[in-house]
């Protein structure tokens, strides 16, 4: 598979798919796969990827964590006992 285009889940060897969480599904892969993330458009390699419920385009773990925090208002900013690192 070329890493010039965003990968679809059907392009990757999925071992198991995990229940949807905050509009995303997580997928464990059989191998560490190289793919292009649909969000950041970078070539990535990992043994786990995410997809949004509305699409089968692959999202890398870093983008998944960012999207899961920001799209659903669960950012750690403003939560008691949690502090963001400064610049």
Domain spans, the chain: 9-70
User: pLDDT band at residue 5, thresholds of 50, 70 and 90?
Assistant: low
| Tokens coding 10 | 């059907």
Q: Which residues contact 41 (CB under 8 A, 6 or more apart)?
A: 6
Q: Answer whether residue 74 shows pLDDT above 90.
A: no
Mean pLDDT on 56-70: 92
Mean pLDDT on 8-15: 93
Judge if pTM exceeds 0.75: no
Q: Answer whether residue 55 shows pLDDT above 60.
A: yes
pLDDT at 72: 59
């Amino acid at each position: 598979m070329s890493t010039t285009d965003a990968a679809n889940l059907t392009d990757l060897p999925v071992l198991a798919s995990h229940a949807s969480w905050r509009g995303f599904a997580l997928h464990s892969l059989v191998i560490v796969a190289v793919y292009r993330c649909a969000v950041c458009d970078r070539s990535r390699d990992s043994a786990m990827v995410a997809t949004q419920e509305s699409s089968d385009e692959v999202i890398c773990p870093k983008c998944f964590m960012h999207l899961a925090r920001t799209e659903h208002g669960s950012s750690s900013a403003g939560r008691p006992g949690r502090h963001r690192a400064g610049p």
